[in-house]
Amino acid sequence: MQDILINWTPQETRVAVIENGAVQDLYIERALERGLVGNIYAGRVARVLPGMQSAFIDIGLERAAFLHVADVILNGNGRSDNGAPAVPIERLVFEGQTLTVQVIKDPIGSKGARVSTQVSIAGRLLVFLPHDNHIGISQKIGSQELREQLRARMNQLVQLPDGTTPAGGFILRTNAEDATDAELADDIAYLRKTWAAIRERGFKAPPGSLLYQDLSLVERVLRDLSNDLTQAIRVDSRIQYEALLAFGEVFTPRAVKKLSHYEGERPIFDLYNIDDEIARALARRVDLKSGGYLIIDQTEALTTVDVNTGGFVGTRNFDDTIFKTNLEATQAIARQLRLRNLGGIIIIDFIDMSREEHQAAVLAELRKQLARDRTRITVSGFTNLGLVEMTRKRTRESLAHMLCEPCPTCEAKGQVKTARSVCYDILREILREARQFNPKEFRIIAAPAVVEMLLDEENQHLAGLSDFIGKPISLQAEPTGSPEAYDIVLL
């Protein structure tokens, strides 16, 4: 069973999914960082450019949006069989015309948003295409036989009780592979209601009006996160609670009965020390209960997870100690991938196991723990070097990328030079400059720890350099922000 806690403020929404008393998933959304992609507007054609086969559309923003002929689908007109525009844009749209358009690319710099008339609305399991009538299946879904089975089920589910099929097509998303008919039917109903509401607003709203904005994180809790295992959804904002009630009664009625307003004196995230969990999820080291630990390093290309025994010595032989540590690590790794939302290529370096049955058991346990993840995962097994290779689909920014920025001191290297290394850099630089310039004196301005070392342990080398170049060298300690930063002033 799981509980979902929602901490809401005007600037930020945070959602935690709790299972067995521990945080399993974290979601964060900031008001100022929400983009426009997915928004649907009542647009007005401001200008048609036949030479560029495009048009500028006024959607109520500071800059007009850009519509290319390849993104225009009206009354069946659009691309030909070879992918080229079947009809020129001047025959598809005209100045002053009202169009329902969807943003497919955010504004960048001086360029306006890019829009399309081919509207799509994403649900939990499906994507609804109001202007299309076919049933599509994600390319990542299994075998051809499974794809045909899903298509046949969808053809039955989209029909109304009288046997007719309303306009509009659907694409099954990757996570619909194991969905039940009831779950698919709920998503179909939700998406059709959403499109009906958009059309109704479109008939009444003036050009430049926002007709639909992709759901906020709070609303996606009801649509995407709530399931049969959810026993309670608690939100600490009365305003958001009432808004969720209204939203849920229309679109997700089964989730409404689980919703409640949290009125406790303690902050809602304090109930499970979630802020401490967030802090731990930003650290490299993750301690295991046995005394072992993980080291997690996230780079641009991939994420590595190193498993270590630490202080765990076990009660039997060393092989059993390693095996138990690796088994315990599988649960922690699966949880950390979700908490940190780590995606892309992931390499796990378990402690080397000499017995093949131990390797097989650890791999089976890892797959079991990863099966709880909502995100698509592929595990390739152990390589010849004893590493486990896996991939986890990127769905949003990782927790570290959302909450942190590169360290200005180490410039994201994760380490800085020692004071002694900086001292030797300075001595080499003075020697280099002494060959080019002839000042009366060299003055070193550096971090206090560097100056202290030059005055103490490296004093003999500093004095020897001064004698060699025949110039005095003075020192000035200043907090530089970075222990590696220094300046050499010629006096």
Domain boundaries, the chain: 2-34+216-275, 119-214, 283-403, 419-490
pLDDT at position 18? 93
442 half-sphere exposure, CB direction, 13 A CA radius: 28
Identify the pLDDT of residue 411: 74
At residue 38, the 3 state secondary structure works out as coil
Class of domain 419-490: alpha beta
CA-angle at 137, arms to 133 and 143, nearest 5°:
145
Reading across the β-sheet that carries 302-308, which strands appear in turn? 285-287, 293-298, 302-308, 344-349, 388-392, 377-382
Count CB-CB contacts under 10 A for residue 50: 12
pTM of the model: 0.71
Q: Are 2-34+216-275 and 419-490 in the same CATH fold?
A: no
d(CA 461, CA 144): 74
Backbone angles phi, psi at 442, to 5 degrees: -105, 130
* Ranges of the chain with pLDDT below 70: 74-86, 311-316, 395, 480
What tokens were used for 15?
A: 């959602």
pLDDT digits (tens, 9 = 90+) for 32-91: 878 788 899 999 999 999 999 999 999 999 899 999 999 997 554 444 444 455 689 999
- pLDDT for 55 equals 95
Q: What is the pLDDT of residue 314?
A: 54
Please tell me the CATH code under which domain 2-34+216-275 is placed: 3.30.420.60
Contacts of 419 (CB under 8 A, 6+ apart): 447, 449, 450, 452, 453, 483
**Long-range CB contacts for residues 102-107, cutoff 8 Å, separation at least 24:** 102/38, 102/39, 102/40, 102/41, 103/36, 103/37, 103/38, 103/39, 103/40, 103/41, 103/59, 103/65, 104/37, 104/71, 105/37, 106/35, 106/36, 106/37, 107/36, 107/61, 107/63
Question: Is residue 222 within 8 Å of residue 248, measured between CB atoms?
Answer: yes
- The 10 Å CB-count burial string (b at 16+, else e) for 286-319 is bebebebbbebebeeeebebbbbbeebebeeeee
- Beta-sheet pairing, 442-446 with 473-477: parallel
* Token digits of residue 437: 């310039």
Query: Strand, helix or coil at 442?
Result: strand
Residue with tokens 């008001």: 31
**What angle is formed at CA 76 by the lines to CA 75 and CA 79, rounded to 5 degrees?**
130
Separation of alpha carbons 37 and 39, rounded Å: 6
Contact predicate 343/316, CB 8 Å? no
- Give the 3-state secondary structure of residue 399: helix
Residues contacting 193, CB < 8 A, separation 6+:
250, 251
* Domain covering 119-214 in this structure, CATH number: 3.30.230.10
Beta strand segments in 180-270, E = 209-212, 230-235, 259-261
Token pair 């004698």 in the structure block, residue: 467
Instruction: Note the pLDDT of residue 471.
Output: 92
Distance between terminal CA atoms of the chain? 72
